[in-house]
């Protein structure tokens, strides 16, 4: 028993309707997805900025002629190690 022209028309209409619903869902979700991506990028940028700050502190410590007037290099190394661990942890979570 074959489909009638009306049944084919109903099927095509249903397919078009489903397509429109999917498009609407994607359109509705797009801002939410973009916001999540922006927040993740901002968090990673903050972690990288922290790491860069720690690296610069080690370099500054290395180059200072007044080495007795600044904290020990080991303190900077520990901070840099912690900052790097945070960056790596954030990247593993992706």
> 21-63: per-residue pLDDT in tens?
777 777 777 888 888 888 888 988 888 888 888 888 888 877 7
Confidence of residue 10 (pLDDT cuts 50, 70, 90): low
> 60-87: per-residue pLDDT in tens?
877 777 666 667 778 888 888 888 888 8
State residue 70's pLDDT score: 67
State residue 7's pLDDT score: 67
Q: Is 76 exposed, middle or buried (0-12, 13-18, 19+ CB in 10 A)?
A: buried
Confidence of residue 3 (pLDDT cuts 50, 70, 90): low
d(CA 91, CA 86): 9
């Amino acid at each position: 028993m074959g489909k009638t022209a009306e049944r084919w028309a109903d099927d095509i209409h249903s397919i078009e309707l489903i397509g429109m619903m999917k498009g609407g869902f994607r359109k509705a979700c797009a801002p939410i997805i973009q916001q999540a991506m922006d927040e993740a990028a901002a968090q990673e940028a903050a972690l990288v900025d922290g790491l860069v700050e720690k690296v610069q502190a080690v370099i500054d410590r290395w180059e200072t002629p007044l080495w007795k007037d600044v904290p020990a290099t080991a303190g900077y190394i520990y901070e840099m190690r912690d900052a790097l661990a945070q960056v790596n942890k954030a990247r593993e979570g992706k």
